[in-house]
Amino acid sequence: MWALSTIKGVDERIRIPGFYDKARPATPRDLEYLAALPDESAAFVEFYGVSGFLKGMSGGTELRRTAVFEPTATINGLNSGYQGPGAKTVLPARASAKIDFRLVPDQTPEEIGPLLRAHLDAEGFADVEVRYLAGVKPARTDPDHPFVQLSIQAAEDVYGKPAIVEPLIGGSGPLHPFIHVLGLPVVTSGCGYPESRVHAPNENIRIPYFIDGIRHSARILYRLAAM
């Protein structure tokens, strides 16, 4: 627990030296896109039953910029000691934790791993083993790319209203080879809804929205062929 507590401070900043050196910040154009998105902060407070957000953040633009344009460090799980019935005053022989770092453009897993190792060593935790499980490089398509704008127009064809554009999302996927190796633009068109409960056991989708997603994909191909 002492080793884990050195990774991130109460100000939410990751304390590993050099961690932010290559992290690309949001541009003024990115902030314009974020400002155009609906402010859902009040809905989040009500839905999750919290009194507010970390660091006193408020407003959709600030929340989204912090959530997607800044890297994160998360403890996914801890395992140690006795947790069965009754009490046992035994000392655990082993403790483990799984953590992840969500990276932003220009950071790479290959660089972050050694930085973590060096940080733990410097903090006096050379006996803590670090085992790298998996990682993918961040990827991003410029939201002003012609293909992105084509996809936005295709969405308006299907839904009859202006599209909501998120310039970056805090997700994971194998997009880096397509964008940064093959040089292909990538767009994710959403067809879920707020209660779809993504990644939960009861993840679901509404059929009309699914059909609209198919229509959107077909319209993108139609407009692309017409170029």
Task: Output the pLDDT for position 22.
Answer: 95
Q: What angle do CA 59, 61, 66 make, to 5 degrees?
A: 100
Tell me what pLDDT residue 118 has.
97
Q: Which pLDDT belongs to residue 16?
A: 97
pLDDT value for 80: 93
Domain map (residue ranges) of the chain = 2-122, 146-226
* Type of residue numbered 46: E
Note the Cα 224 to chain centre separation in Å. Answer: 29
Enumerate the H helices of 73-199 as residue ranges. 109-122, 146-159, 176
pLDDT at position 195, please? 86
pLDDT < 50: residue spans in the chain: none
Helical residues (DSSP H) of the chain, grouped into ranges: 2-5, 28-36, 41-48, 60-68, 109-122, 146-159, 176, 207-226
- Predicted local distance difference test score (pLDDT) of residue 153: 95
* Class of domain 146-226 (CATH, top level): mainly alpha
CATH tag, 2-122: 3.30.70.360
Give the pLDDT of residue 142.
93
Alpha helices per DSSP H over 49-108: 60-68
The whole-number pLDDT of residue 61 equals 79
Six-digit token string for 177 = 């080879």
pLDDT of residue 149: 94
> What pLDDT is attached to residue 121?
98
Tally of helices (H runs) and strands (E runs) in the chain: 8, 2
Q: What is the pLDDT of residue 191?
A: 86
